[in-house]
């Protein structure tokens, strides 16, 4: 097996498609070498080797030593230098890099190959004593902590003491002698701690570094990052051994990170950070605040122009926005990394749409590139525009760099651990740090937002937060953060731990206290891309909405009708006049307590006008689109009071004895209410409920129709389990509706159908379709009953069924993502039989799954007519429905190709 891939001098054994094997960095270096970019030479040890190493207790495959040796010799030939040489030494960096980007989570060792002889040679050749000894001390420091595991703090402390002794503040002021002295101290410290001399042999150094990088795959921070990012199924990290280039030789050198487009807005502008006279990690670590690329263009116009050319070339080559790392060594540009750049949701849409318009990608590719999370994150909050400007000015603490947009409110915390502790208690927190490091990733994840005093837009905090779409402000230098007292001060004011604060990631502003947030306006690129998706999809997308307000929102989101109005919500609340909600509640309670059909009818008559008014509101909003209205579904006990006090109140209001109420409540008690007297079973027992609801629906529809609104009511019976049961209900529905329509003298189309929620109904779909004009899968209940899992309680143990590290029985929570393997089969069975009976049977889904990407794709494959999702999930369903078509076409194409070959 081949474990090592070489790149250099314009040739590479690997290429850009080999991410799984070479990691993103290794594949990128190989590809950049192939297309002729200035990349330092090196070789990549594969992720398969990491997998072997981790599975064999830190042993390497037998062939590896010879392979590394061969590639090292080749590297020495290409660079015309020798590792550890006393005359012209080759120095290398040893870097991690897995198939998925894990910024800063794994280890890197720089300047490897330095020892007491080669450091002198480096000093001579660069004519820069200070630079050579600084490089050496960095190497000894990194090697001691990363490879050997000596505590970082002890080494940092020695550096601090040396600076104090020499009376200097910044590292840049330390003379060569200071660094030489520090190397001596580090080596002595190394000897004391390990009882061994610091390794002089460069090959020994190299093997130590390779093992450390492999082991860093399982470091706690890396494991946490993979958990929160849900990165699974990777073999491990690759190791990249690359010739060192130095950005810290002097003022004509530097290092930077740049993006081919703005990762915050998506704008087509060259965007990035650059630090003069600095080494690689200084930019990412965010310790010094870097300059913008425009500044670099002024200082180093030639290199900048070259970089600009690389930008254009790489974006064309990869057909995506790239995030690149580069170093300038004495005026010469080197590219160290390129990868698809992390970006905000707004930028995701803008870049996809712009690239399609520029002809760089197709519209279909643009649609494929959007993930459902990108849509969800578009709705992240901003500072409410109604908050008066003077109030904001008054509250403003400091301004930093707007690294990730959005806004966040929470209580200030000053450590990642505290953030996790407080979040576990349900508190909203803002993580306030001087800078973040990969160890902080758990706390960063649970925080509402992050603010750091140092760093640029490509610092660790910014990169990680951007990947999550989490509001983040960096380089907020006015903020004086004191970890000891857990305070942050600016402008003469102080925030203590637990104090409320607000971040505005759009402006980079930090405010004292809790500022009101609201949902932002959607970017233009969003509507453009959604229109493209609509042009591709076949599946209809409706919404679940119970109020005119939600119906309006859903129409704005692109819903083409309502797939579920849960009428019981109208019994609880008057959305137009909330103060009148109590009238409805009383009426329904009176109906439930009633002891005769007459008394029940009287109570129901009070509800009729409310329901009718609500339906009119909904029909108006859905002018021209179908509206599926479900009759009463929950068990009646949900509507009545259970505490004595409240029962007394009700008894007084409706004029009965409290005992009557108490007895009725007791009668309604069920051991398994979810399997009890609910759904259409209520109307089988109390047909008066059906009569009132159908009357309200049809009268509302007639009134709308008369005023020119196009209405298509679909009356839906829930929880049906039998053909005869539905027949009774459908007959009653037609009788009531027919009479009203006849009397009104209008022509009104309406239909009567059923939900498919009970497995028996799914199995008997063929019979039930004799009566039902449409089916709507209620997959919340169908999952509950199909799997025998209580939708209200299964959360207590279901995570164990989903957790890969525990039982790992299901890939996802079946209440979130449809159990295609089981419940999905019930649906397919039902669809086939239903359509065999009634070929034009309209079929939809209105369970929560209608707004989940994978479930929507299944519904497309199953041949449903539409999915129905809550208003904010409608765009996710539209996108998934389009992606389903694209995937289907691709599968067909693949199938054809295969078929072609066989013949
Ligand atoms: C369902 O069961 O899937 C459904 C939509 O109904 P509810 O969630 O109201 O029970
Ligand atoms: Mg249901």
797 by Cβ neighbours in 10 Å (0-12 / 13-18 / 19+) ranks as exposed
- How far apart, in whole angstroms, are the C-alpha atoms of residue 620 and residue 667? 40
Beta partners for 333?
Answer: 328
Q: Which atom of ligand 1 is nearest to the CA of 564?
A: 5
CB atoms within 10 A of CB 891: 11
pLDDT-derived band at 467, boundaries 50, 70, 90: low
- How far apart, in whole angstroms, are the C-alpha atoms of residue 269 and residue 261? 5
Helix (H, G, I), strand (E, B) or coil at 120: helix
- How far apart, in whole angstroms, are the C-alpha atoms of residue 591 and residue 485? 62
CA torsion through residues 341, 345, 348, 350, sign: negative
DSSP annotation string for 705-716: HHTT---EEEEE
Report pLDDT for 375: 92
Whose Cα sits closest to atom 7 in ligand 1?
A: 780
For residue 797, give every residue at least 6 positions away whose Cβ sits within 8 Å of its Cβ, in sequence order, or none.
none
Report pLDDT for 458: 66
Residue 329 CB–ligand 1 contact under 6 Å: no
- How far apart, in whole angstroms, are the C-alpha atoms of residue 111 and residue 138? 8
pLDDT-derived band at 286, boundaries 50, 70, 90: low
Cα-to-chain-centroid distance, residue 276: 35
Report pLDDT for 284: 62
- How far apart, in whole angstroms, are the C-alpha atoms of residue 201 and residue 113? 8
Report pLDDT for 595: 84
Look-up of token digits 């970019």:
37
Instruction: Count CA atoms within 13 Å of residue 237 on its CB side.
Output: 29
Percent of all residues in the chain with a pLDDT value above 90, rounded to a whole number: 77
Residue 324 tokens, joined: 């690149």
Q: Is this prediction's pTM over 0.75?
A: yes
Query: 13 vs 901, which has greater pLDDT?
Result: 13
Taking each helix axis as running N to C, give the angle between helix 581-593 and helix 658-668, from 0 to 180 degrees, rounded to the nearest 10.
80
Beta partners for 481?
Answer: 488
Report pLDDT for 902: 40
pLDDT-derived band at 903, boundaries 50, 70, 90: very low
Q: Do 279 and 246 contact (CB within 8 A), yes or no?
A: yes
DSSP annotation string for 224-246: HHHHHTT--S----EEEEEE---
CA nearest 641: which of 594, 590, 687, 605? Answer: 590
The Å distance, Cα 815 to ligand 2 centre, comes to: 12
Residue 779 CB–ligand 1 contact under 6 Å: yes
Mean pLDDT for 765-781 is 97
Cα 703 to Cα 161, 527, 575, 610: the distances in Å are: 85, 34, 21, 15
Look-up of token digits 């006049």:
577
Residue 509 tokens, joined: 């502003």
Instruction: Write down how long the chain is.
Output: 903
Say which range, 14-23, 204-213, 223-232, 665-674, has the weakest mean pLDDT.
Answer: 223-232
Residue 546 CB–ligand 1 contact under 6 Å: no
Residue 72 tokens, joined: 């090292």
Whose Cα sits closest to atom 4 in ligand 1?
A: 778
CA torsion through residues 118, 120, 124, 127, sign: positive
Mean pLDDT for 70-96 is 96
Instruction: State pLDDT tens for residues 611-642.
Output: 999 999 999 999 999 999 999 999 888 888 88
Instruction: State pLDDT tens for residues 566-582.
Output: 998 788 777 777 778 88
Helix (H, G, I), strand (E, B) or coil at 541: strand
Instruction: State pLDDT tens for residues 502-521.
Output: 999 988 999 999 999 988 78
Report pLDDT for 28: 96
Q: Do 583 and 574 contact (CB within 8 A), yes or no?
A: yes
For the chain, helix (H) and strand (E) counts, in that order, are 36, 34
- How far apart, in whole angstroms, are the C-alpha atoms of residue 689 and residue 703? 21
Helix (H, G, I), strand (E, B) or coil at 816: coil
Residue 235 tokens, joined: 């073999």
Decide if 846 is catalytic. yes
Look-up of token digits 């590896």:
64
Task: Let me know the angle formed at the C-alpha of 381 by 378 and 386, rounded to the nearest 5 degrees.
Answer: 130
Q: Do 37 and 12 contact (CB within 8 A), yes or no?
A: no
Q: Which ligand is nearest to the CA of 778?
A: 1
Look-up of token digits 């980079």:
508
Report pLDDT for 901: 47
Q: Do 622 and 563 contact (CB within 8 A), yes or no?
A: no
Cα 255 to Cα 91, 136, 243: the distances in Å are: 17, 19, 15
- How far apart, in whole angstroms, are the C-alpha atoms of residue 418 and residue 422? 6
Say which range, 29-33, 369-373, 754-758, has the weakest mean pLDDT.
Answer: 369-373
Instruction: State pLDDT tens for residues 144-156.
Output: 999 999 998 899 9
Q: Do 491 and 398 contact (CB within 8 A), yes or no?
A: yes
For residue 329, give every residue at least 6 positions away whose Cβ sits within 8 Å of its Cβ, in sequence order, or none.
245, 246, 247, 249, 253
Reading phi first (left if > 0) and then psi (alpha if -120 to 50, else beta), residue 359 is in left
Strands 254-259 and 271-276, how do they pair? Answer: antiparallel
Residue 791 CB–ligand 1 contact under 6 Å: no
Q: Do 894 and 568 contact (CB within 8 A), yes or no?
A: no
Report pLDDT for 390: 84
Q: Which atom of ligand 1 is nearest to the CA of 778?
A: 3
Q: Do 134 and 174 contact (CB within 8 A), yes or no?
A: yes
CA nearest 460: which of 102, 8, 168, 65? Answer: 102
End-to-end CA distance of the chain: 34
pLDDT-derived band at 534, boundaries 50, 70, 90: very high
Percent of all residues in the chain with a pLDDT value above 70, rounded to a whole number: 98
Q: Which ligand is nearest to the CA of 779?
A: 1
Residue 855 CB–ligand 1 contact under 6 Å: no
Q: Which atom of ligand 1 is nearest to the CA of 757?
A: 2
Residue 11 tokens, joined: 């040739």
Instruction: State pLDDT tens for residues 219-256.
Output: 888 888 888 777 888 999 999 999 999 998 889 999 99
Q: Which atom of ligand 1 is nearest to the CA of 633?
A: 9
Cα-to-chain-centroid distance, residue 307: 31
Look-up of token digits 């509640």:
585
Pick the catalytic residue from 460, 717, 849, 860: 460
Report pLDDT for 285: 62
Report pLDDT for 457: 72
Whose Cα sits closest to atom 6 in ligand 1?
A: 778
- How far apart, in whole angstroms, are the C-alpha atoms of residue 840 and residue 821? 26
Mean pLDDT for 312-341 is 95
- How far apart, in whole angstroms, are the C-alpha atoms of residue 60 and residue 82? 24
Q: To 10 degrees, the CA torsion angle through 537, 539, 545, 548? A: 60
- How far apart, in whole angstroms, are the C-alpha atoms of residue 204 and residue 198? 10
Q: To 10 degrees, the CA torsion angle through 863, 866, 871, 872? A: 20
Taking each helix axis as running N to C, give the angle between helix 597-621 and helix 548-556, from 0 to 180 degrees, rounded to the nearest 10.
30
Mean pLDDT for 656-675 is 92
Q: Which atom of ligand 1 is nearest to the CA of 566?
A: 9
Residue 566 CB–ligand 1 contact under 6 Å: yes
Query: 493 vs 513, which has greater pLDDT?
Result: 513
DSSP annotation string for 757-815: -SHHHHHTHHHHTTT-SEEEE-HHHHHHHHHT--TTTGGGTHHHHH-TTTT--SSS-TT
Whose Cα sits closest to atom 3 in ligand 1?
A: 778
4 by Cβ neighbours in 10 Å (0-12 / 13-18 / 19+) ranks as buried
- How far apart, in whole angstroms, are the C-alpha atoms of residue 736 and residue 546? 23
Task: Read off φ and ψ for residue 508, nearest 5 degrees.
Answer: 80, 25
DSSP annotation string for 130-154: HHHHHHHHHHHHHIIIIII---HHH
HEC profile of 737-768: HHHHHHHHCCCCCCEEEEEECCHHHHHCHHHH
Name the percent of the chain in helix, strand, coil, to the closest 5: 50, 15, 35
Q: Which ligand is nearest to the CA of 782?
A: 1
Pick the catalytic residue from 258, 472, 846, 859: 846
The Å distance, Cα 778 to ligand 1 centre, comes to: 5
Decide if 49 is catalytic. no
Mean pLDDT for 200-218 is 97
Say which range, 73-87, 96-110, 303-317, 343-357, has the weakest mean pLDDT.
Answer: 96-110
Mean pLDDT for 641-645 is 90
Residue 847 CB–ligand 1 contact under 6 Å: yes
Task: Let me know the angle formed at the C-alpha of 786 by 783 and 788, rounded to the nearest 5 degrees.
Answer: 90
- How far apart, in whole angstroms, are the C-alpha atoms of residue 155 and residue 188? 11
Report pLDDT for 435: 86
Q: Which of 546, 563, 566, 790 to mutate to test the pocket of ligand 1 (most atoms within 8 A of CB)?
A: 566
């Amino acid at each position: 097996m081949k474990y090592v891939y070489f790149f250099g001098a314009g040739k590479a054994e690997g290429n850009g498609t080999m991410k799984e094997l070479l990691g993103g960095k290794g594949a990128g270096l190989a590809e950049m070498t192939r297309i002729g970019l200035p990349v330092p030479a090196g070789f990549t040890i594969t992720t398969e080797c990491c997998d072997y190493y981790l599975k064999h207790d830190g042993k390497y495959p037998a062939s590896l030593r010879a392979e590394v040796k061969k590639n090292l010799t080749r590297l020495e030939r290409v660079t015309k230098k020798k590792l550890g040489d006393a005359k012209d030494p080759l120095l290398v960096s040893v870097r991690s890099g897995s198939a998925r980007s894990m910024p800063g989570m794994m280890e890197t060792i720089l300047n490897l190959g330095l020892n007491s002889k080669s450091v002198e040679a480096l000093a001579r050749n660069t004519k820069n004593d200070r630079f050579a000894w600084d490089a050496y001390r960095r190497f000894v420091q990194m090697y001691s902590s990363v490879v050997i595991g000596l505590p970082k703090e002890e080494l940092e402390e020695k550096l601090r003491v040396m600076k104090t002794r020499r009376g200097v503040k910044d590292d840049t002021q330390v003379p060569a002698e200071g660094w030489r002295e520090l190397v001596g101290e580090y080596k002595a410290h190394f000897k004391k701690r390990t009882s061994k001399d610091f390794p002089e042999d460069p090959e020994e150094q190299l093997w130590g570094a390779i093992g450390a990088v492999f082991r860093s795959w399982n470091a706690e921070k890396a494991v946490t990052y993979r958990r929160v990012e849900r990165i699974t199924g990777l073999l491990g990290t690759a190791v990249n051994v690359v010739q060192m280039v130095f950005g810290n030789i002097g003022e004509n050198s530097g290092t930077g990170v740049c993006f081919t487009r703005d990762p915050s807005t998506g704008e087509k502008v060259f965007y990035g950070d650059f630090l003069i006279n600095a080494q690689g990690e200084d930019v990412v670590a965010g310790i010094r605040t870097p300059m913008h690329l425009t500044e670099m263009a002024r200082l180093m116009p030639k290199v900048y122009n070259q970089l600009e050319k690389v930008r254009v070339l790489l974006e064309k080559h990869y057909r995506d926005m790239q995030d690149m790392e580069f170093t300038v060594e004495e005026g010469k540009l080197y590219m160290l990394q390129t990868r698809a750049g992390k970006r905000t949701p707004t930028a995701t849409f803008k870049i996809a749409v712009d690239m399609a318009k520029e002809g760089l990608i197709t519209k279909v590719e643009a649609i494929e590139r959007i993930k459902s999370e990108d849509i969800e994150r578009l709705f992240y909050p901003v500072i409410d525009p109604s908050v008066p400007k003077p109030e904001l000015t008054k509250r403003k603490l400091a301004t930093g760099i707007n690294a990730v947009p959005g806004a966040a409110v929470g209580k200030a915390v000053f450590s990642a651990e505290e953030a996790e502790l407080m979040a576990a208690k349900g508190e909203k927190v803002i993580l306030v740090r001087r800078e973040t490091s990969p160890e902080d990733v758990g706390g960063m994840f649970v925080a509402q937002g992050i603010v750091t005093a140092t760093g640029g837009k490509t610092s660790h905090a910014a990169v990680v937060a951007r990947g999550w779409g989490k509001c983040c402000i960096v380089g907020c230098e006015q903020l004086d953060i004191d970890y000891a007292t857990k305070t942050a001060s600016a402008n003469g004011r102080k925030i203590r731990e637990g104090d409320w604060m607000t971040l505005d990631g759009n402006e980079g502003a930090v405010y004292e206290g809790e500022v009101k947030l609201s949902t932002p306006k959607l970017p233009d690129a969003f509507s453009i891309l959604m229109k493209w998706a609509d042009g591709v999809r076949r599946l209809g997308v409706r919404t679940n909405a119970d109020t005119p307000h939600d119906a309006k929102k859903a129409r704005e989101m692109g819903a083409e009708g309502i797939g579920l109005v849960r009428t019981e919500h109208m019994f609880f609340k008057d959305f137009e006049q909330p103060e009148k909600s109590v009238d409805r509640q009383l009426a329904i309670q009176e109906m439930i307590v009633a002891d005769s059909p007459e008394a029940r009818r009287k109570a129901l008559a009070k509800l009729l006008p409310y329901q009718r008014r609500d339906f009119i509101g909904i029909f108006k909003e859905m002018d021209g689109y179908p509206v599926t209205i479900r009759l009463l579904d929950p068990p009646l006990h949900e509507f009545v009071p259970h505490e004595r006090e409240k029962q007394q109140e009700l008894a007084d209001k409706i004029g009965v004895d409290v005992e009557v109420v108490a007895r009725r409540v007791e009668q309604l008690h069920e051991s398994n209410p979810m399997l009890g007297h609910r759904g259409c079973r209520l109307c089988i027992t109390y047909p008066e409920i059906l009569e009132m609801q159908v009357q309200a629906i049809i009268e509302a529809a007639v009134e709308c129709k008369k005023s020119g609104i196009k209405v298509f009511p679909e009356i839906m019976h829930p929880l049906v389990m039998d053909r005869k049961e539905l027949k009774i209900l459908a007959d009653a529905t037609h009788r009531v509706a027919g009479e009203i329509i006849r009397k009104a003298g209008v022509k009104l189309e309406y239909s009567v159908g059923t939900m498919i929620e009970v497995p028996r109904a799914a199995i008997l779909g063929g019979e039930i379709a004799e009566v039902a004009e449409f089916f709507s899968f209620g997959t919340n209940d169908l999952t509950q009953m199909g799997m025998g899992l209580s939708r209200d309680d299964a959360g207590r143990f279901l995570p164990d069924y989903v957790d890969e590290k525990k039982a790992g029985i299901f890939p996802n929570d079946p209440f979130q993502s449809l159990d295609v393997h089981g419940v999905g089969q019930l649906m397919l069975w039902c669809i086939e039989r239903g359509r065999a009976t009634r070929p034009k049977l309209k079929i939809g889904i209105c369970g929560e799954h209608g707004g989940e990407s994978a479930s929507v794709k299944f519904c497309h494959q199953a041949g449903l007519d539409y999915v129905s999702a809550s208003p904010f999930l409608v765009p996710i369903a539209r996108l998934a429905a389009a992606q389903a078509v694209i995937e289907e076409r691709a599968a067909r194409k693949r199938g054809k190709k295969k078929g072609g070959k066989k013949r």
